[in-house]
């Protein structure tokens, strides 16, 4: 069993999401390590979760600023919307919140960080629906993971027409340890499962 395209689960805050995602075959699991975020994962929680998962890339999502000690977290990919100012010298993931960027400016934004391993492009459903050809061209030119609030018709269009390198879906908070509603994540991952 595999998925039709690469998947990153972002904003993971708990072991339930991490193990479920790894078991479903996602390629990357992102943990928000920006202390100002509501989804912030402490170094202790990060270590407790990551020791139980294997076979996936681990991404430290740091937002706009590097407010944590690198010594607190093991080596992993950094994801930032401001990697140039953070002086990240190794491989990184460049996140662009494109919800308020004119479509014709997106390519310029992507070109500002040519050394990114890949790009996570946050967009609205409306942007995707209104610019299918444009997003298809961007995804042919750059390694892009599309991040939006997916529904089944849009997911089908993204997978079969736009064809990005991958997509990002977001984890969520547990009601209490061990009790987790997977509906949003499960719906997307089950739809993406390859037919046998």
Reported confidence tier of residue 64, pLDDT bands at 50, 70, 90:
confident
187 or 117, which is more confident: 117
| Segment 145-172, tens digit of pLDDT | 999 999 889 999 999 999 999 999 987 6
User: For 27-40, what is the mean pLDDT?
Assistant: 90
- pLDDT the model gives residue 103: 84
Q: Output the CA torsion 182→22→154→183 (10° steps).
A: -10
- pLDDT the model gives residue 181: 42
- pLDDT the model gives residue 169: 93
Reported confidence tier of residue 78, pLDDT bands at 50, 70, 90:
confident
Domains detected in the chain: 6-192 (3.20.20.70)
Residues contacting residue 136 through CB under 8 Å, at least 6 positions apart: 161, 162, 163
Query: Rounded mean pLDDT of the chain?
Result: 85
**Percentage of residues in the chain having pLDDT higher than 90:** 48
């Amino acid at each position: 069993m595999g998925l039709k395209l690469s998947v990153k689960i972002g904003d993971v805050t708990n072991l339930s999401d991490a193990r479920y995602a790894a078991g479903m075959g996602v390629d990357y699991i992102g943990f928000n390590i920006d202390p100002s975020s509501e989804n912030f994962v402490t170094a202790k929680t990060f270590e407790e979760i990551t020791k139980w998962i294997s076979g996936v890339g681990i991404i430290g999502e740091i937002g706009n600023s590097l407010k944590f000690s690198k010594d607190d977290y093991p080596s992993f990919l950094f994801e930032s919307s401001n990697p140039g100012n953070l002086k990240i010298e190794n491989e990184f993931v460049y996140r662009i919140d494109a919800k308020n960027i004119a479509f014709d400016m997106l390519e310029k934004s992507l070109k500002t960080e040519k050394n990114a391993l890949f790009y996570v492009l946050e967009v609205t459903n409306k942007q995707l629906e209104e610019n299918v050809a444009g997003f298809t061209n961007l995804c042919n030119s750059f390694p892009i993971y599309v991040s939006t609030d997916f529904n089944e018709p849009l997911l089908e269009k993204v997978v079969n027409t736009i064809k990005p390198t991958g997509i990002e879906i977001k984890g969520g908070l547990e009601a209490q340890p061990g009790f987790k509603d997977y509906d949003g994540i499960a719906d997307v991952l089950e739809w993406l499962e390859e037919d046998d």
